[in-house]
Structure formats: C-alpha cells, structure tokens
Amino acid sequence: MRLLARPHQLPPRAAAGVIILNSGLSKWSADEETAAGVHGMAAGTYPFLKKIEATRFVKLLSTAEIALGTALLVPAVPSLLAGAGLTAFAGGLLGLYLKTPGMREEGGLRPTQQGLPIVKDLWLLGIGTGLVMEELIYE
C-alpha cells in the first residue's frame, strides 16, 4: 500500500474532505432538535440506529465525519484507506436516498426536490471508488 497520496489525488480528496469536515464540525454542537431530526432520518432508513440516543448518535456521526474529512485532507493517509472510508460513508448516504420514502420519484431513481441534496452525494462515491480502484490496480 502506497503511504502518500499521489499529487493528482489531492484535488478530489481535498474537495470531499473539506465538505465532510465542515459537515462534521457543524454537527458537533447540534442542539437537541437538530439531533432528533438527523437521528430520525437515519433511524428511519437504518432501524438498528433507533437503539442509540439522538444526541449521542449525532456526536458519533460528527466524530466520524471529522475523522474522515481529516483523513482525506492529510496526504500521509494512504489513498486506499481514505478512499475506502469515503466509499463506505457515501454508500450510507446513498442508502438514505434509496430507502427513504419521498426521496425518489415513484418507480424510478430520479430524485424529488427532497432527494436532490442527498443524491448529489453520488460524487463522493465516485471519488472514493476511484481512489480505491487506482490503489488496487496501479499499486
């Protein structure tokens, strides 16, 4: 596994990293109402999350986003590792899109207005899988 990111990997890593880091920092001090909303949406799609209290869930999500955003921004974190984390994170977001009622037009994949902000996260999946594939194929 290559230890340092390749120079051409830095722009997509930075683009994803700053967005995810900002999201995590924004959630860090979420009030109870915000925590309940974020938790409710996640638990509606992933029922096992109902067992976690809303403010704890948001703190854990915030921590994960801060860690992932930082990993993407630090070139010393191998791209295989950062890409795998990003792919998993983006997969979870797209799961929200696919499984949450009202996100897609009925019978298809086209987003509704409500689903548009989440489906746009498809670019994160593309960056993550691209990093992983490059590191596995061209090591």
pLDDT at residue number 101 = 87
Q: Is the pLDDT of residue 138 over 90?
A: no
Q: What is the pLDDT of residues 37-87, one digit of tens each?
A: 999 999 999 999 999 999 999 999 999 999 999 999 999 999 999 999 999
Residue 45 C-alpha from the chain's centroid: 15
Contact assessment for residue 124 and residue 90, using Cβ atoms and an 8 Å cutoff: yes
Q: Average pLDDT of 83-93?
A: 96
Say whether pLDDT at 21 is over 90.
yes
pLDDT at residue 118, rounded to an integer: 87
Q: Which amino acid is at 41?
A: M
Q: C-alpha distances in angstroms, 135 versus 36, 78, 89, 90, 138?
A: 39, 9, 18, 18, 6
Each residue's pLDDT tens digit, 97-118:
999 888 999 889 999 999 998 8
Structure confidence at residue 76 (pLDDT): 96
What CA–CA distance (Å, rounded) separates 91 from 28? 22
Tell me: pLDDT of 1 over 80: no
Asked whether 103 and 110 are in contact (CB, 8 A), the reply is: no
pLDDT of residue 119 exceeding 90, the answer is no
Q: φ, ψ for residue 15 (rounded to 5)?
A: -60, -50
Supply the pLDDT for residue 117.
Answer: 87
pLDDT of residue 60: 97
The residue to which tokens 């921590």 are assigned: 63
Going from N- to C-terminal start, the domains of the chain cover 7-137
* Mean pLDDT, range 107-136, rounded to an integer: 93
